């Protein structure tokens, strides 16, 4: 009888309380990849590992960077997420390109990333265009010496910061990526953006294109031969 | 003049007699609940049998309640479970009680079997009791397995897959067996219907039938007396000895020997309800989608040891072991009361029996532990979702940073954690630079080894270089990197 009473009490307790620790919450419910719609979750599950989120740092460029977000056009951002960067380690995410994200999810990501933009933190100088043709190699060397050599060494092979002309490094990153880094820097790692490398004299769009040309012309093929000949001195 | 109360009780008595005359209720009661058992059988060791039966009855009740909502079709099973778990008031609790009831039932049944074995209760003249008990064990495991399929989520899918793989190994008729089990070539709605029929009709019905037989044997051949070292079973004399025990110290099971069973029942119910409250139901995890590569299924507790065996066994002996193993063990168990049906009953005089029991439990325990904790399944989304601690990113050269990216892109993180974050199938790489030199790192990446695939074909020289350069940089502050002491010291390039 006592046991029955105990049992009854237990049952009463249970039916009264909906907070039992074993009760599954909706948050624990399994969700298919298509059901993930919140930007925060989408970003955490798909991008965080390689791009970080400002808090956590990662190997590739941080998207949560005011200068970067001011530079990159919306459709470039969208198509980069959807199609990846061919030949480089940015995967394609759209279902059409073999990834796992629906177009609507990519749109959410684009919106969410651009919403990180913070115009108040932008430098006074106009932001250079996201994409542009390579500039001149020879002036590039001079611009490099002026803006970068203090950290990356006199010929780019490394100083306070590491080498940016290492043949393996160069074969892993695209020109556009290098350009993005030159514009937006990697402030979280100590590489300043285009406006703050030399106090008081931001890099001009021309200087950016020239430095990029100087770096890019040091690419080599698998036999260590230069990929492209520097154009004859002007 | 009789009082109205008196009249009513007379009426009741008459009614009872009327029924008793036709149904012989009293006789049945006396010969079952009232049957005499040795007083020594009123021991704590003897509660497991009734506790198992109690679990079964709870499963029947909760099972019927679940069946009110559950729709056994591949399209709806999953949805009805989600409804029960997240929307129906206390639906989760019902599922939890059914789930934990099943776990308890198998566990208590194994305890019961252990006790029966150690107390020599399978010996003459209780052979059929033992064998029917073995059938019940198989049926119960069948119920647990088919019940796991009812969830029809990725765990169920995994369980079915393994089951089909084992079936498929049977020589000559393997494929037919698989078709028979799955209701076709693949796991589909037919499979679920089939397992539903097994789970709610065939198996419970069989359990009820065999339990009746099992209990019938307990009544006709009596409950085993508490074994005393030195009292040996002989076929010629045992029946007389048992009759003498009953005559001398027999007590009616009800009400004299049932008290401990009732207390045990309270504990069992309390245990099930507590587990249900605290741990809740299992799953449903993701739906059973073979294309869903993010799955990392685990079978239910009592099948974890099989999971371990399947993962650990060398492939060459798998077929033989998976098919012959159960057959041999089953045969030995069935034959046990015949080749070992007499002699000492007490475990104090049966050291081999004790060793067998210990080894079995330790073996199963270790396999279960491995199955529950070993990270055999990679973490499938670590490559794009797992962040890297600052310590492993800051102060790295651009090439090393690219190495960190390659480590993600090539999904190394799915098997390798960094600072505890990521898969655990391979070693944590946070300080791998302290353990391995560059040539060793290169060799591991290019040629693989252990349980790691070889990446040689899938990595460009630059990617290998970046990876190795990055991993070599994973050294805790103040510790020198790994060095190959057989080579003269070289400076880093």
pLDDT at residue B293, rounded to an integer: 46
Q: What is the mean pLDDT of residues A134-141?
A: 93
pLDDT at residue A146, rounded to an integer: 93
Q: In chain A, what percentage of residues exceed pLDDT 90?
A: 66
pLDDT at residue B485, rounded to an integer: 63
Cα A174 versus chain centre, distance: 13
d(CA B170, CA B175): 8
Higher pLDDT, A76 or B451: A76
Which one of B275, B277, B401 has the shortest CB-CB distance to A59? B401
Q: In chain B, what percentage of residues exceed pLDDT 70?
A: 95
Confidence tier at B123 by pLDDT (50, 70, 90): very high
pLDDT at residue B488, rounded to an integer: 56
Task: Mark yes or no for CB contact B409/A26 under 8 Å.
Answer: no
pLDDT at residue B21, rounded to an integer: 93
Q: What is the CATH number of domain A34-121?
A: 1.10.760.10
Which one of A26, A45, A222 has the shortest CB-CB distance to B381? A45
- Chain A residues whose CB is inside 8 A of the B466 CB are 168-169, 172
Q: What is the mean pLDDT of residues B452-463?
A: 87
Task: Mark yes or no for CB contact A169/B402 under 8 Å.
Answer: yes
Token reading at A152: 């990356």
Confidence tier at B492 by pLDDT (50, 70, 90): very low
Least confident of A19-28, B127-136, B409-418: A19-28
Tell whether the model's pLDDT for residue A25 goes beyond 90: no
pLDDT at residue B315, rounded to an integer: 67
Instruction: Tell me if A34-121 shares its fold with A137-225.
Output: yes
Task: Mark yes or no for CB contact A3/B263 under 8 Å.
Answer: yes
pLDDT at residue B319, rounded to an integer: 77
Q: Quick check: A87 contacting B, CB < 8 Å?
A: no
Q: What's the pLDDT tens digit per position in A154-207?
A: 999 999 999 999 999 999 999 999 999 999 999 999 999 999 888 888 999 999
Confidence tier at B381 by pLDDT (50, 70, 90): confident
Tell whether the model's pLDDT for residue B487 goes beyond 60: no
Tell whether the model's pLDDT for residue B267 goes beyond 60: yes
Q: Quick check: A221 contacting B, CB < 8 Å?
A: no
In chain A, the N- to C-terminal Cα span, in Å, equals: 104
Contact B422, B416 (CB under 8 A): yes
At residue A142, φ and ψ (nearest 5 deg) are: -65, -45
Task: Mark yes or no for CB contact A222/B383 under 8 Å.
Answer: no
pLDDT at residue B451, rounded to an integer: 72
Tell whether the model's pLDDT for residue B237 goes beyond 70: yes
Name the superfamily (CATH) of residues B32-373.
Cytochrome Bc1 Complex; Chain C (1.20.810.10)
d(CA B337, CA B207): 22
Cα A188 versus chain centre, distance: 12
- Chain B residues whose CB is inside 8 A of the A57 CB are 388, 390, 393-394
Q: What is the mean pLDDT of residues A102-112?
A: 95
> What are the residue ranges spanned by the domains of chain B?
32-373, 382-472
The residue in chain A having the minimum alpha-carbon distance to the alpha carbon of residue B153 is A30
Least confident of A188-202, B121-135, B144-158, B252-266: B144-158
pLDDT at residue B99, rounded to an integer: 95
Q: What is the mean pLDDT of residues B248-274?
A: 92
Which range scores top for mean pLDDT: A10-19, A179-188, B307-316? Answer: A179-188
Cα distances (angstroms) measured from residue B309 to each of A178, B255, B330, B360: 51, 46, 18, 14
pLDDT at residue B493, rounded to an integer: 43
Higher pLDDT, A191 or A23: A191
Q: What is the ipTM of this complex?
A: 0.86
Q: In chain B, what percentage of residues exceed pLDDT 90?
A: 54
d(CA A135, CA B261): 90
- Return the number of other C-beta atoms located less than 10 Å from residue A200's C-beta: 6
Quote the mean pLDDT of chain A: 88
Confidence tier at B307 by pLDDT (50, 70, 90): confident
Least confident of A124-133, B101-110, B228-237, B283-292: B283-292
d(CA A10, CA A26): 25
> What are the residue ranges spanned by the domains of chain A?
34-121, 137-225
Q: Quick check: A104 contacting B, CB < 8 Å?
A: no
User: Per CATH, is A137-225 categorized as 3.30.930.10?
Assistant: no
Q: Could you say which residues from 6 to 65 on chain A have a Cβ atom under 8 Å away from some Cβ of chain B?
A: 6-7, 10-11, 14-15, 20-24, 26, 29-30, 32-33, 44-50, 52-53, 56-60
Higher pLDDT, B278 or A24: B278
Q: Are strands B250-252 and B232-233 parallel, antiparallel or unpaired?
A: unpaired
Q: What's the pLDDT tens digit per position in B55-74?
A: 999 999 999 999 999 999 88
Least confident of A196-205, B44-53, B311-320, B409-418: B311-320
Higher pLDDT, A7 or B253: B253
| Pick from A205, A143, A141, A153: nearest CA to A179 | A205
Confidence tier at A17 by pLDDT (50, 70, 90): low
Task: Mark yes or no for CB contact B388/A189 under 8 Å.
Answer: no
Task: Mark yes or no for CB contact A14/B273 under 8 Å.
Answer: yes
Tell whether the model's pLDDT for residue B489 goes beyond 70: no
Q: What's the pLDDT tens digit per position in B162-177?
A: 788 788 888 888 889 8
Which one of B266, B283, B404 has the shortest CB-CB distance to A3? B266
pLDDT at residue B414, rounded to an integer: 84
Ramachandran class of B423: left when φ > 0, alpha when ψ lies in -120 to 50, beta otherwise: beta
Q: Quick check: A189 contacting B, CB < 8 Å?
A: yes
Q: What is the CATH number of domain B382-472?
A: 1.10.760.10
d(CA A84, CA A91): 5
The residue in chain B having the minimum alpha-carbon distance to the alpha carbon of residue A31 is B286
Q: What is the mean pLDDT of residues B198-208?
A: 97
pLDDT at residue B479, rounded to an integer: 80
Q: What is the H or E stretch that residue B279 is in?
A: helix B259-279
Quote the mean pLDDT of chain B: 88
Tell whether the model's pLDDT for residue A232 goes beyond 50: no
Q: Residue B36's beta-bridge partner residues?
A: B252
pLDDT at residue B404, rounded to an integer: 95
């Amino acid at each position: 009888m006592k046991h029955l009473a105990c049992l009854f009490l237990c049952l009463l307790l249970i039916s009264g309380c909906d907070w039992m620790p074993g009760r599954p919450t909706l948050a624990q419910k399994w969700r298919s990849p298509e059901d993930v719609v919140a930007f925060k979750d989408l970003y955490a599950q798909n991008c965080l590992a390689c791009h970080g989120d400002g808090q956590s740092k990662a190997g590739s460029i941080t998207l949560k960077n005011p200068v970067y977000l001011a530079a990159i056009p919306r459709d470039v951002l969208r198509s980069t997420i959807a199609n990846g960067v061919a030949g480089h380690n940015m995967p394609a995410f759209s279902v059409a390109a073999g990834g796992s994200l629906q177009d609507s999810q990519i749109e959410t990501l684009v919106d969410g990333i651009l919403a990180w933009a913070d115009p108040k933190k932008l430098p006074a100088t106009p932001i250079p265009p996201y994409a542009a043709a390579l500039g001149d190699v020879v002036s590039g060397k001079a611009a490099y010496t002026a803006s970068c050599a203090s950290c990356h060494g006199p010929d780019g092979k490394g100083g306070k910061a590491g080498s940016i002309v290492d043949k393996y490094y160069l074969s892993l990153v695209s020109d556009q990526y290098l350009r993005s880094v030159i514009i937006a820097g990697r402030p979280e790692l100590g590489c300043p953006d285009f406006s703050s490398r030399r106090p008081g004299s931001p890099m001009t769009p021309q200087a950016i294109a020239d430095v990029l040309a100087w770096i890019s012309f040091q690419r080599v093929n698998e036999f260590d031969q230069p990929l492209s000949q520097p154009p004859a001195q002007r | 003049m009789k009082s109205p109360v008196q009249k009513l009780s007379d009426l009741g008595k008459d009614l009872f007699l009327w029924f008793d005359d036709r149904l012989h209720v009293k006789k049945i009661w006396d010969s079952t609940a009232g049957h005499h058992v040795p007083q020594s059988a009123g021991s704590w060791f003897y509660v497991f049998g009734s506790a198992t039966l109690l679990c079964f009855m709870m499963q029947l009740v909760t099972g019927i309640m679940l069946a009110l909502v559950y729709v056994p079709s591949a399209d709806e099973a999953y949805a009805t479970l989600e409804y029960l778990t997240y929307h129906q008031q206390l639906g989760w609790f019902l599922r939890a009680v059914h789930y934990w009831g099943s776990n308890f039932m198998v566990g208590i049944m194994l305890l019961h079997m252990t006790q029966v074995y150690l107390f020599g209760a399978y010996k003459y003249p209780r052979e059929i009791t033992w064998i029917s008990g073995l059938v019940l064990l198989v049926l119960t495991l069948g119920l647990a397995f088919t019940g796991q399929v009812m969830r029809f989520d990725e765990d169920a899918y995994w369980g079915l897959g393994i089951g089909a793989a084992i079936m498929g190994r049977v020589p000559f008729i393997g494929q037919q067996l698989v078709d028979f089990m799955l209701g076709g070539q693949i796991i589909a709605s037919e499979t679920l219907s089939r397992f539903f029929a097994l789970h709610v009709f065939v198996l419970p019905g069989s359990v009820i039938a065999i339990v009746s037989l099992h209990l019938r044997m307990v009544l006709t051949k009596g409950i085993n007396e508490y074994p005393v070292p030195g009292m040996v079973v002989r076929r010629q004399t045992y029946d007389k000895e048992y009759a003498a025990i009953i005559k001398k110290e027999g007590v009616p099971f009800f009400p004299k020997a049932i008290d401990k069973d009732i207390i045990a029942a309270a504990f069992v119910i309390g245990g099930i309800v507590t587990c249900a409250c605290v741990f809740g139901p299992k799953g449903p995890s993701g739906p059973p989608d073979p294309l869903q590569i993010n799955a990392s299924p685990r079978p239910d507790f009592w099948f974890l040891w099989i999971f371990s065996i399947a993962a650990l066994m060398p492939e060459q002996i798998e077929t033989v072991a998976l098919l012959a193993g159960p057959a041999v063990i089953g045969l030995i168990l069935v034959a046990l009361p015949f080749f070992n049906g007499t002699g000492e009953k007490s475990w104090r005089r049966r050291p081999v029996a004790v060793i067998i029991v210990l080894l079995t439990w330790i073996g199963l325990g270790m396999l279960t532990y491995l199955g529950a904790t070993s990270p055999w399944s990679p973490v499938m989304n670590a490559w794009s979702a797992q962040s890297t601690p600052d310590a492993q990113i800051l102060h790295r050269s651009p090439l090393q940073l690219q190495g960190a990216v390659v480590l993600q892109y090539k999904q190394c993180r799915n098997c390798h954690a960094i600072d505890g974050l990521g898969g655990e199938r391979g070693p944590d790489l946070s300080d791998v630079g302290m353990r391995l030199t560059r040539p060793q790192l290169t060799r591991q990446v290019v040629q693989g080894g252990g349980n790691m695939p070889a990446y040689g074909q899938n990595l460009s020289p630059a990617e290998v270089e970046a990876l190795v350069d990055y991993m070599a940089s994973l050294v805790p502050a103040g510790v020198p990197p790994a060095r190959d002491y057989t080579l003269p010291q070289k400076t880093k390039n």
